[in-house]
Chains A and B, each alone.
Chain A
Amino acid sequence: MQSDVDLLRWRLFDLRELSQENDRLKDLLNFKQKSPLRLVAARVIGRSADSWSSSVIIDKGRYSGIKPGMVVITSWGLVGSIVESTQDASKVLLINDPNQGISSIVQRSRQEGLVSGTLGTNLIMRYLPDDAQIVIGDVIVTSELSRIYPKGLLIGRVVNIGREFSGLNRYALVKPVVDLANLEEVLVVLP
């Protein structure tokens, strides 16, 4: 009797996991069908080997047409960019890595700035002039000045604004819309 209960409990957990995966994949498929972009879906199979960088490894590579420099998104917003690809896997540098620099704008006021990662939960938007039109809650999207990112991809929302140490510029802390710590499936944008 007890073993039957254990078995059923195991199956219930298994079904719950499958149901959640199904929901996520449906969401991605829905987005992929509606989006004007050419997208390839991929699964996250590994994370950064240390805590000084923020990256993930995905299960699609050159065989699926993925090359370095391509943009990675989810249905929520921007995730990062491909930095290296092999035949069947690729490395994605996430937007919260300090080596990322994304030319971006405040959607409401079109104020420009540079978003980069800090390894923390928030991103930092720098080079904002003293009179920058930016308030807490503003939405930050990629700008057309960005070399690799398409214009208008959602990055996050402003959660705090401060003044840089030099006193010349202001900065804004941006909370990414994508949960970068718990990525499971992503979409790679093909050119």
Chain B
Amino acid sequence: MKRILFFLAIIVLATLELNWPSFLNFFYCKPDLLLIFMVALVFFTDFKTALIFGILAGLAKDVFLPASWGINTICFSIWSYLLYRLSRQISAEENYVRLAIVLAVALLNNFVIGLQSVAPGNIMPPGIFLRNLIIISVYTTLLSPLIFKLTKRIAA
């Protein structure tokens, strides 16, 4: 039952990301809801579930992107594994620790995706690169408590 609910949560979050209202964008940036969900899964479920649904979340994101070689699927699985290792080293019970982890993962993920966008010689002004990197990461972090609550409720 839980697995079906996690699967439904991925579909709902992916649909929400695709149809994110433009008036909720900050400087053309929108939050990465599936990334928060992937991080929340590590905190509230076992490693196997977190890894499987983390990969599915990345896959759901890649399906709707124009570049279809699976960068989010790869990144999400790596972050899931690293976060699992980290969660065994430190205590992530406090909210501010969880927010800091989401911010760090969002910054890393956006840095990788941003580099991948400019790697083939494409032009992206540094201002736009930094704007995307910082605003998406901060916006994602600010919305993470909502997704944490949802994931915690499903996992309970």
Chain A residues with CB under 8 Å of chain B are 46-53, 55, 57, 83-84, 91, 93, 97-99, 116, 118-120, 124, 126, 181-182
Contacts and interface: CB of A to CB of B under 8 A. Distances in A.
B67 A99 contact: yes
Interface of B: 14, 17-20, 22, 28-30, 32, 34, 61, 64-68, 110, 113-114, 117-118, 120, 122-125, 128, 132, 136
A83 B28 CA distance: 22
11 contacts: A47-B19, A49-B17, A49-B61, A50-B30, A51-B30, A51-B132, A97-B66, A99-B120, A99-B122, A120-B128, A126-B123
B67 A98 contact: no
Nearest to A96: B28
B18 A52 contact: no
A168 to B, nearest CB: 15
B22 A181 contact: yes
A48 B65 contact: yes
B65 A49 contact: yes
B147 to A, nearest CB: 16
Given A99-B67, A181-B22, A182-B22, A50 B61 contact: yes
Contacts of A97: 66
Q: Which 8 A-B pairs have the closest CB atoms?
A: A98-B122, A46-B18, A49-B64, A55-B66, A51-B29, A93-B66, A52-B113, A49-B17
Q: A49, A83, A99 — which one has the most chain B CB atoms within 10 A of its CB? A: A49
B64 A57 contact: yes
Contacts of B22: 181-182
A191 B28 CA distance: 34
Contacts of B118: 98
Given A116-B122, A120-B125, 10 more contacts: A47-B20, A51-B28, A52-B117, A84-B66, A84-B68, A99-B120, A99-B122, A118-B124, A118-B125, A181-B28
